Chain A
């Protein structure tokens, strides 16, 4: 209890983000040839497909990542500065958004997963050690290397135990806990997480969070190619990604596994807009539970083609609200470091 109080009370000190280089403004031609900016932290992980698969055969369950509570309000506003940079989905620019798709929906209904969205969003299985299996959600995003998956930093780095995940495998369009794997199983070989999260995100054993690092709760994974040498993006396509720009509707997708959900299928929340950035977070009314962490937050989502732009991922929630760190300058730097850009 004392530990929990201490962690919750941890100060939200100012975070200095050092970024070399130049953000690409929105009026520059979009694409993946964005400037290489600053570096985050990366770590190689075990990507032995055989070992990973065997681990999950033995440990697959509905274990879910911890539920997190929002950080204290009223603290100094922090912002991962919006850059206006965006990368289009592999299906091309999204031109129009169906107004009917902008309805507010917070219940976590099953997601219809039209078009591209039925291929690129999936479930991320991970473990921090041989006994701690968990599940998150993740998304293939368009990248130069065609091998990039976006998720939440806390899905790949344990802010309590201060350790990286191992045995990360991603199952696009997972259904019924890998009973159906229409686009295969993909193994991560490298994690890219923001230094801010690694150094400043705190959590206790119950999942209570503290620290400025949670405003940078995003990460990228580099994936091994498939057995035939194909990159994941060649198989699934990739969603677009926006590093701070205008929003047109917000859609959150994930695999909530904690009750009342079962983690067996994709669910969603949506709104015509999200609340203004709460410090560095987007906020959405949403009842999804643990397991949806890392799932995509998309804007300008075309409900016919299933294409949109990633603006964040499910991070923390509680009391009917979900938060997402907003992708901006730091996220762009990390994306480039991970090989997303040129």
Chain B
């Protein structure tokens, strides 16, 4: 799915007409609008969403190989941001390859984690070049530090969405929707609050400072959309919300790019390319990364 199309998910949902109810009961023409049984429709759409979300989540947490694009963006605001992660997960425990590109020049950290290894290899962008003399930097693993699948790229988007949905707010009912395109692709969506999304910043690996929780409007609505192909298979998951003011719209998501190409799995870096950060120095290393980002 193209970037523009992916980002059109939200727009399509907003524009889609809620016109499902016109059954064959009417025997004569009348003036006025058709009124669906809203409650029944919502129940049906909820079941569709849950079915698709559960199926996709199960697929991602079952150790399946995954290839796709994970992204975090703010669009339409005064200060746009885009971070895209090209992700490959292979095997169980997963070997993980993450290649980042960012609208903040040099602010990228690619990752290579060999399944079962106790270290991660980081390929630091130019913003962080002073932190390591070599191309790669070896640190104690974050990806493989626990059995929690939510620590894995791609899977963490599902985890963040799940947590945001479970949080609810106890007052506002979620609104479900479903749209289907002529080519058979469809999008099932549900609303939650922006606050629920932002509360999952760590799980979703949102860049620090991208959204300030203190600035979030309590009433701001967010939408979680799952896109399926014509056969009902998973295509994409997106969390989106207007940030308010001139901050634009927050988009966080994952788009599958299909089957894993074995050629996308590189070899582990040559030891000649690697500087190892000792356990005792890791905290300082990450603090330095944050310092450089804050400068």
Q: What residues of chain A have their CB less than 8 Å away from a CB belonging to chain B?
A: 98, 100-101, 103, 105, 109-112, 114, 251, 265, 268, 270, 303-304
Contacts and interface: CB of A to CB of B under 8 A. Distances in A.
Contacts of A251: 272
Contacts of A114: 271
Interface extent on B, as a size class? Answer: 10 to 19
B267 A109 contact: no
B133 A303 contact: no
B275 interface: yes
Contacts of B267: 100, 103
Interface string B259-283: 0000000011011111100000000
Contacts of A111: 134, 272
A1 to B, nearest CB: 41
Given A101-B272, A112-B275, 15 more contacts: A100-B271, A101-B270, A105-B270, A109-B135, A109-B273, A110-B134, A110-B135, A111-B134, A112-B271, A112-B274, A251-B272, A265-B133, A268-B272, A270-B270, A303-B271
B270 A100 contact: yes
A109 B134 contact: yes
Contacts of B134: 109-112
Interface in B237-295: 267-268, 270-275
A208 B294 CA distance: 51
B135 to A, nearest CB: 5
Contacts of B272: 101, 105, 109, 111-112, 251, 268, 270, 303
Interface string B118-138: 000000000000000111000
Interface of B: 133-135, 267-268, 270-275
A98 B272 CA distance: 11
A100 B272 CA distance: 9
A277 B133 CA distance: 33
7 contacts: A98-B271, A109-B272, A109-B273, A110-B133, A112-B133, A112-B271, A112-B273
Nearest to B138: A112
A251 B273 CA distance: 12
B90 to A, nearest CB: 18
B65 to A, nearest CB: 23
Contacts of A100: 267-268, 270-271
Contacts of A98: 271
A109 B269 CA distance: 12
Residue picked from B133, B267, B275, most chain A C-beta under 10 Å: B133
Nearest to A265: B133
A265 B134 CA distance: 10
A165 to B, nearest CB: 29
Contacts of A268: 272
B269 to A, nearest CB: 8
Residue picked from A100, A109, A112, most chain B C-beta under 10 Å: A112
A32 to B, nearest CB: 28
B96 to A, nearest CB: 18
B73 to A, nearest CB: 32
B74 to A, nearest CB: 35
B214 to A, nearest CB: 42
A273 to B, nearest CB: 15
5 closest A-B pairs by CB = A303-B271, A103-B270, A110-B134, A112-B134, A101-B271
B243 to A, nearest CB: 40
A265 B267 CA distance: 25
Nearest to B132: A110
Contacts of A105: 270, 272-273
A308 to B, nearest CB: 12
A298 to B, nearest CB: 11
Contacts of A270: 270, 272
Nearest to A253: B272
Residue picked from B134, B267, B268, B274, most chain A C-beta under 10 Å: B134
A230 to B, nearest CB: 27
Nearest to A117: B272
Nearest to A303: B271
